Structure 1
Amino acid sequence: MPSLRSKTTKPLPGFRAVATLSAALALALPLTGCTTLHTTAPSAARAGAGDGTAPAGFGAVDCRKAKCIALTFDAGPSEHSARLLDILAQKKVPATFFLLGKRHMEKYPDLVRRMEAEGHEVASHTWDHRILTRIPPEEIREELRRPNEEIERLIGRRPTLMRPPQGRTDDTVHRIAREEGLAEVLWSVTAKDYATNDSALIRRRVLQQSSRDGIILLHDLYPGTVPAVPGIIDALKERGYVFVTVPQLLAPGRARPGTVYRP
C-alpha cells in the first residue's frame, strides 16, 4: 500500500521540527488504515478520453505529444506568493496552486485573484489543513466546502481539484470529495522544502526526481522555496520539459470528482 511524504503548512515558531518528525512518521505508516489507494496516472486520464482537443492557455500544450510536467504549490497564499507570481510571469510558466483558507486566502485575497487572472489553476488544500482521515465525515465536508465557497467568491468559479493534507486520503474522503465535485491530486516529486531553507538543495531534489508527466510539490510559504524556482524552471526547460497546469496535464481528459490522480 503506497504511502506519501508528509508536510506541514503553517510558518509558526518551532513548526519546522514538527514537520520533519511528521514526515518521518508518514514514511513509516500506510496511507490509510484499511483502504487500498487506487490512483489514475495522467497518461491514463488522457488515453481514457479518446480523441479530443487540448485546453487553451499557455500555448494550448498537448501532453500526448509534449514532454509535460506540472508545477504545484501548496499552502498559500503567503508573503512569498507575489514574488513567485512575478517569476512565473517572467518565465511564462503556469502553475497549480492548492490554497488554504484560514489565515491564507483570508489574508491574501488579492493574490488569489491574481493567480486566476494570470492563467494559473486555483485549487483547494482544505480550509485549515486538518488531516482528513482523522476527522468525522461532517468535518471533512466542512474542510472541503469552505475553501470551495471562498474561491468561488474570489474568482467566480469553484475549484475542481483538491490536495488532501499530507496526501492522506481514504474511501470516506473520496466519497465526500466526489459529492463536492472535487478530484484529488497527489504528486510524484517533492523537495521536502518544509524541512530546509537551502534553495540549492530544493532545486537539486526536484531535478533528481522529475520525469515526464510528473507533478512537482512545493510550498511557497517557506523562504527557501521561491528562490529555487527560477533554477528549477530553467533546468527543466533545458531538458525539454513543458510546464502545464494539472488540468492541462490530464487533457483531453478531465478530472473526475472522487478520483485520485498521481503519476
Structure 2
Amino acid sequence: MASGRWTTRRAERRRLGAGILSLLAVAALPAQAADCGKPVYLTFDTGHMEVAPLVAEVLARQQVKVTFFAANERTKVGDGSLGDHWAPWWKARAAEGHEFASHTWDHVYWRADLPGEPPRFRMRPSAGPDEGKEQVWTGAQYCEQIARSAARLQAITGKAPLPLFRAPGGKTSPRLLAAARACGWAHVGWAPAGFLGDELSSESVSNAELLARALRNVRSGDILLAHLGIWSRKDPWAPAVLEPLIMGLKERGFCFRTLREHPLYAGWIMQEQGKTR
C-alpha cells in the first residue's frame, strides 16, 4: 500500500509540475500572443522547394510568422531541401523570426509497429540513400532521424529548433510517439480544417475550392498545414491560394502565431529547451 501511495503522489507531483510549467509558459508569451483572440498556427512542411521563394515573399508582405517542419527532401533545384543550395533561404527565414522543427531527416514514414520489447517499427524513407526501402528501426534510430534534421537546421540558421516534430504524412502510432517523446520530441499534427489540400489532385479539387473550404471551415486554435512544393499537384497551390487565404483569415479576425506560442506546446518547449542551457 505504501508503495502505491508513493507512486500516486509522484504522479500527482509530475502533473502539478507540468501544470505550473504550462502556466509559466503562457505567462511568458509575448503580449501580442496574449492579445490574439482568434489565433491560427500556419505550418509548412518541406517539399520540392520550388515555391519556397514565393512563400517567403508572401509571409514577409503579410507580416505573418510560421513554423517550418524540415526534412532533407529531394528538390527541383539544389542538393536537397536542407542542402547547401537552400541554406541561405533557411537562414533568411530565421532572421525574419520564423520557427523551425524536424520532419525527420529522410522524410521517413511509419508503416507499422512490430511485436515485442524493446519497441521496433517498420519504416520507409521517401528520401535519401534508402528511399523506398522498408526497414526495421528501434525508437532510438527514429530519434536520431528527428535529431539529425534539427541539428542541421540549427547549424544553418544559428537558431535552436523547437523540440517538436511532424511525422511524414502524420503517420504514427502511440508506441512511436512515446519513443520520440522519451527522447525529447513532441509530435505536432494538424486540425481537420487545417489540412489546406495542397497534396490533393488538382483534377479533383481546384485551388478556388480549397481556398473557399479553408475560409469557411478554419476555426480559432487550428494548426494549418501546407508544403513548400508538392510534386503531384499540377496546378500549384501556393501562388493561387496562400496570400488570399492569409488575407481572408485576417479579414475574419484571425491572427497568425507560431507553435512556440501554442498553449499545448509552450510548456513543453520551455521545459525541453531549458535542459540545454
Question: Shared fold by TM > 0.5?
Answer: yes
1:62 matched residue in structure 2: 34
For this pair of structures, how many residues does the alignment match? 211
1:10 matched residue in structure 2: none
2:4 matched residue in structure 1: none
Q: 1:112 aligns with which of 90, 108, 111?
A: 90
User: For 1:1-263, what aligned pairs fall within 5 Å after superposition?
Assistant: 49-50=22-23, 52-56=26-30, 60-62=32-34, 66-76=37-47, 78-102=49-73, 103-106=80-83, 107-132=85-110, 133=112, 134-135=122-123, 136-137=137-138, 138-156=140-158, 157-188=160-191, 189-197=194-202, 198-222=206-230, 223-250=236-263, 253-255=266-268
Determine if contact 1:97/1:121 at 8 Å carries over to the other structure: yes
The range that moved more, 46-55 or 68-77, is 46-55
CA shift at 1:141, angstroms? 2.6
Unaligned runs of 5+ in 2: 1-17, 74-79, 113-121, 124-136, 231-235, 273-277
Distance in 2 between residues matched to 1:130 and 1:54, nearest whole Å: 34
Distance in 2 between residues matched to 1:112 and 1:123, nearest whole Å: 12
Q: 1:94 to 1:77 in 2, by over 3 A?
A: farther
Task: Kindly provide the CA deviation profile for residues 3-58 of structure 1, in whole angstroms up to 9, marking residues without a partner as x.
Answer: xxxxxxxxxxxxxxxxxxxxxxxxxxxxxxxxxxxxxxxxxx999723643433xx
CA shift at 1:226, angstroms? 3.9
The range that moved more, 129-138 or 187-196, is 129-138
| 1:104 alignment partner AA | S
Q: 1:201 to 1:155 in 2, by over 3 A?
A: same
Q: Which entry has the higher C-alpha Rg, 1 or 2? A: 2
| 2:173 alignment partner AA | D
The range that moved more, 81-90 or 128-137, is 128-137
Q: Structure 1 length as normaliser, TM-score?
A: 0.71
CA shift at 1:67, angstroms? 0.9
Determine if contact 1:247/1:254 at 8 Å carries over to the other structure: no
Determine if contact 2:58/2:243 at 8 Å carries over to the other structure: yes
Secondary structure (helix, strand or coil) at the match of 2:89 reads helix
Q: 1:252 to 1:214 in 2, by over 3 A?
A: closer
Secondary structure (helix, strand or coil) at the match of 1:105 reads coil
Secondary structure (helix, strand or coil) at the match of 1:73 reads strand
Distance in 2 between residues matched to 1:204 and 1:163, nearest whole Å: 26
Unaligned runs of 5+ in 1: 1-44, 259-263
Determine if contact 2:55/2:238 at 8 Å carries over to the other structure: no
Alignment RMSD (CA, Å): 2.7
Secondary structure (helix, strand or coil) at the match of 2:107 reads coil
CA shift at 1:166, angstroms? 1.3
Q: 1:94 to 1:158 in 2, by over 3 A?
A: closer
Q: 1:252 to 1:147 in 2, by over 3 A?
A: closer
Determine if contact 1:190/1:218 at 8 Å carries over to the other structure: yes
Q: 1:211 to 1:46 in 2, by over 3 A?
A: farther
Distance in 2 between residues matched to 1:160 and 1:145, nearest whole Å: 9
Q: 1:252 to 1:66 in 2, by over 3 A?
A: farther
Determine if contact 1:85/1:115 at 8 Å carries over to the other structure: yes
| 2:23 alignment partner AA | G
Distance in 2 between residues matched to 1:251 and 1:180, nearest whole Å: 18
CA shift at 1:253, angstroms? 3.5
Q: 1:168 to 1:61 in 2, by over 3 A?
A: same
Q: Which has the higher contact order (CA 8 A, sep 6+)?
A: 1
